[in-house]
């Protein structure tokens, strides 16, 4: 984390601490079962769950991953949480939390957190093992209809060069050796032109069209592509190997979460009255926000020099 991003993280979290301080942050009860007090700033306890939540917010660990209280990472994040509380207390002492702008920012932060908690409660709570398993089985069904193709490539700059490659291969030369000697594709030439296994739907259209019905062992081309003239060899064709359930689970959970949030927002927008106050062309009225800095008086604004006046 860069120094600027660390400071930004501390300042954002300090806003949250200000809210907690305003509600009496000296509660000694553990916020979670088996939680552990790890530090104290004046009369406010810092719990292990506070540190872990901050580590998750910074993307240092994933949701649900453990964080050892004896690790260097835990201690580093703990120091940041202490800094957050010290900054928040000082801001509170100076009365910075009492301004209308501070109240609006704190309210926006509170609403963001409450929205996240609603998603965790309503959406994430509805993502069952059965829902994950059902979607995984659907992916398996689709995967059984897909085929992976392993291909090697020799890429030439011109068609005459590609025709010469076909002639050399026709004399019995090894495709891998010719690829290493003549292919201009730096990404694959030193592996004998090996492109690995992939499905037709993710290949460039020119490759997919050329390979669609070609059996293993075929030499295809030359044909023109964006990078030059290609000659391909089909090494193997096989049914696509689907990921295991555990490999696919994170992606499935993300998809189900996205769909759950989308449906929830559709329901909420359907029940609520929402007025978007923009002009017909979509632009907001040309007006400075209340928090914008005041304009300089006319006497302080530099006036253009009369024509012909020498520059100072």
Q: What is the pLDDT of residue 310?
A: 43
Asked which of 16-20, 95-99, 126-130, 265-269 is least confident by mean pLDDT, the reply is: 16-20
Confidence of residue 285 (pLDDT cuts 50, 70, 90): low
Per-residue model confidence as pLDDT tens digits over 42-61: 888 899 888 998 998 888 88
Average pLDDT over residues 231-236: 91
112-115: Cβ within 8 A, 24+ apart: 113/16
The chain-wide mean pLDDT, for the chain, equals 79
Confidence of residue 268 (pLDDT cuts 50, 70, 90): confident
Confidence of residue 145 (pLDDT cuts 50, 70, 90): low
Those residues whose C-beta lies under 8 Å from the C-beta of residue 29, and which sit 6 or more positions away, are none
Q: Which residue has the higher pLDDT, 78 or 5?
A: 78
Confidence of residue 159 (pLDDT cuts 50, 70, 90): very high
How far is it, in rounded angstroms, from Cα 172 to Cα 170? 5
Asked which of 71-80, 106-115, 234-243, 253-262 is least confident by mean pLDDT, the reply is: 234-243
How far is it, in rounded angstroms, from Cα 280 to Cα 282? 5
Average pLDDT over residues 202-207: 87
Q: What is the pLDDT of residue 33?
A: 82
Provide DSSP, 85-121.
HHHHHHHHHTTGGGSHHHHHHHHHHHHHHHHHHHIII
Q: What is the pLDDT of residue 148?
A: 84
Is the pLDDT at 229 greater than 90? The verdict is yes
Residue 175, CA distances (Å) to 140, 168, 213, 232 in order: 35, 9, 20, 9
Average pLDDT over residues 197-203: 84
How far is it, in rounded angstroms, from Cα 224 to Cα 13? 56
Per-residue model confidence as pLDDT tens digits over 173-193: 999 999 999 899 888 988 899
Q: Could you tell me what percent of the chain has a pLDDT over 70?
A: 78
Q: What is the pLDDT of residue 77?
A: 92
> SS3 of 5, please?
helix
pTM > 0.85: yes or no: no
Average pLDDT over residues 22-30: 55
Six token digits for residue 147: 């085929």
Q: What is the pLDDT of residue 166?
A: 92
Per-residue model confidence as pLDDT tens digits over 84-100: 889 988 988 888 888 88
How far is it, in rounded angstroms, from Cα 175 to Cα 169? 7
Is the pLDDT at 286 greater than 60? The verdict is no
Q: What is the pLDDT of residue 283?
A: 56
């Amino acid at each position: 984390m860069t120094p600027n991003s660390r400071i930004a993280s501390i300042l954002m979290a300090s806003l949250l601490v200000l809210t907690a301080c305003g509600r009496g942050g000296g509660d000694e009860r553990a916020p979670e079962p088996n939680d552990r007090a790890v530090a104290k700033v004046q009369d406010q306890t810092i719990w292990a769950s506070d540190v872990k939540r901050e580590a998750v917010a910074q993307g240092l660990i994933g949701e649900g991953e453990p964080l050892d209280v004896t690790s260097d990472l835990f201690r580093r994040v703990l120091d940041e949480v202490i800094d957050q509380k010290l900054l928040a207390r000082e801001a509170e002492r100076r009365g910075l939390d009492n301004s209308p702008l501070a109240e609006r920012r704190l309210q926006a932060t509170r609403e963001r957190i409450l929205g996240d908690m609603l998603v965790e409660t309503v959406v994430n709570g509805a993502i069952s093992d059965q829902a994950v398993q059902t979607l995984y089985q659907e992916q398996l069904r689709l995967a059984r209809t897909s085929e992976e193709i392993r291909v090697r490539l020799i890429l030439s700059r011109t068609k005459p060069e590609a025709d010469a490659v076909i002639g050399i291969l026709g004399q019995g030369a090894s495709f891998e050796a010719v690829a290493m000697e003549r292919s201009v594709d730096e990404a694959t030439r030193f592996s004998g032109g090996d492109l690995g296994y992939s499905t037709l739907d993710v290949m460039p259209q020119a490759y997919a069209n050329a390979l669609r019905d070609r059996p293993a062992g075929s030499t295809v081309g030359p044909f023109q592509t964006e990078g030059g003239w290609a000659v391909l060899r089909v090494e193997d064709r096989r049914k696509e190997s689907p990921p295991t359930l555990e490999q696919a689970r994170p992606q499935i959970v993300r998809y189900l979460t996205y769909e759950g949030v989308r449906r929830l927002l559709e329901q909420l927008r359907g029940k609520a009255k929402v007025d978007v106050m923009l002009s017909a062309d979509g632009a907001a009225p040309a007006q400075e926000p209340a928090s914008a800095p005041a304009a300089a008086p006319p006497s302080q604004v530099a006036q253009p020099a009369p024509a012909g006046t020498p520059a100072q």
